[in-house]
Structure 1
Amino acid sequence: MALQELDDFLADWEDTEEKNKAVFERLKTFLEKKEGVTLNFNPRPGLTYSLRATHVNQKEKSLFAMVDVIEDTPRWLSVCFYGAMITDPEENGDFVPEGLLGEDAVCFDIETWEDGLIAYVESRLEEAWQSAQKG
């Protein structure tokens, strides 16, 4: 993944005590290791910085997961999935009608490093990746 804009963004981002930069980098690395995944970076300075994951087998959807850095003080993350591609057995996510490119979504807000929540979101990333492999 040669995304110079993403590299520049990360180089300029000074992490805070919430460690959200570290969370973002962990989720990015998790996605990079998945077979068939392409990552795209969509910066909207002052609003969000979106890392979007797509699987090569996907035909009808333009992504399977979106990791947004929300521009705030401090920055925080919103990790969103199409509602039909994941489960949320612990109901940690927020259901967002038409919240992901016009389709129903489930989003998880990460405001600070929390091992349990990060692992839970990684499980959802795994689930979405498996769904995306099916096309």
Structure 2
Amino acid sequence: MQTPAELDTFLQQWSADPNGCRKVFLQFQSRIQAHSDITMDFVARPGLTYSLRAARLGQDRPVFVLMDVIDEDPRWLSVCFYGDMITDPEEYGDLVPEGLMGEDGYCFDQDENDPDLAEYIGKRLDEAYSNAAG
């Protein structure tokens, strides 16, 4: 799995990380890239978001996760999944009706390097990846 060049450039330029979200982003990216059957796109909208969009080969939907870096000071993460592809037993996610490419989704906000929350979201990544197979 190769990282999109624009994403590499963005990560190199994201040097200030007072809340540790760059580190968490890299952990999530690594977790996604651990799978060999993934495609990734990166959509930069400076001043708004920088979005990593990952899909599993052969899945019916365009993504199984949409991970936005919200371009504020400091930057923070919003990690979103289709509502029917994950569970949220601790109810940490925010329901976003029709908010993920026209479908209901759940978004999890990570605005600091909270290892427990990062692990919780990481489990949602694994769950969404598994359910993306159909």
Specify if TM > 0.5.
yes
Q: Which residue is 2:10 aligned to?
A: 9
Q: Which residue is 2:49 aligned to?
A: 48
| Unmatched runs of 5 consecutive residues or more in structure 1 | none
TM-score, normalised to structure 2, is 0.96
What's the CA shift for 1:2?
4.1
Q: Which residue is 2:59 aligned to?
A: 58
| Native 8 Å contact 1:15 1:22 kept in 2 | no
1:34 maps to 2:35:
yes
Which 4+ residue blocks in structure 1 deviate beyond 2 angstroms?
A: none
What's the CA shift for 1:57?
1.9
TM-score, normalised to structure 1, is 0.95
Q: Tell me how large the CA RMSD over aligned residues is.
A: 0.9
Q: Which residue is 1:92 aligned to?
A: 92
- CA offsets per residue over residues 6-54 of structure 1, 9 Å max, x none? 1110000013221111111110011000231111111111110000010
Q: Which residue is 2:74 aligned to?
A: 74
Q: Following superposition of structure 1 onto structure 2, how do residues 118-129 of structure 1 map, counting pairs within 5 Å?
A: 118-129=118-129
In the alignment, the residues of structure 1 paired with residue 88 and residue 36 of structure 2 have an alpha-carbon distance, to the nearest angstrom, of: 23
| Unmatched runs of 5 consecutive residues or more in structure 2 | none
Q: Which residue is 1:23 aligned to?
A: 24
In the alignment, the residues of structure 1 paired with residue 16 and residue 127 of structure 2 have an alpha-carbon distance, to the nearest angstrom, of: 28
Using the aligned pairs only, state the percent identity: 47
